[in-house]
Amino acid sequence: DTAVSQTPKYLVTQMGNDKSIKCEQNLGHDTMYWYKQDSKKFLKIMFSYNNKELIINETVPNRFSPKSPDKAHLNLHINSLELGDSAVYFCASTRGLHNSPLHFGNGTRLTVT
């Protein structure tokens, strides 16, 4: 009964490749997020969707493109991968738009070689 599930858990790829990370939540939440955790463990928001509509788009290279086919899914596609993209990417979801705790997936560890 995983609440927020991400696939794959690990992703190793070469520079220049294109890859996708998928996220699904079965909590009935309206809002989903992508966060990036760097090697120093710092967490930074990248994107957020509310009912399939993009509501947060932080300063992220346009090689990163989120897609939300429905409110239970939020995928992240990355083009032309670079070494600096290596990180753990977390998907999260929440109900509502204010003061609600985020429920995180288990993360996808992306390694670019």
Q: Is 90 in the site for another protein (CB under 8 A)?
A: yes
Listed residue (19, 16, 34) closest to 83, CA to CA: 16
DSSP tag of 96: S
* Interface region with another protein, contact rule CB under 8 A, candidates 18-26, 61-69, 70-78, 101-109: 101-109
Any contact of residue 88 with another protein (CB under 8 A)?
Answer: yes
Which structure tokens are listed for 107?
A: 């993360």
Residue 25 Cα distances to 9, 67, 96, angstroms:
15, 14, 15
> Among residues 50 and 75, whose Cβ is nearest to another protein?
50
Range 41-80, binding another protein (CB under 8 A): 41-45, 48, 50, 55-56
Rounded CA Rg of the chain:
13
Binding site for another protein (CB under 8 A): 31, 33, 40-45, 48, 50, 55-56, 88, 90, 92, 94, 96-104, 106-107, 109
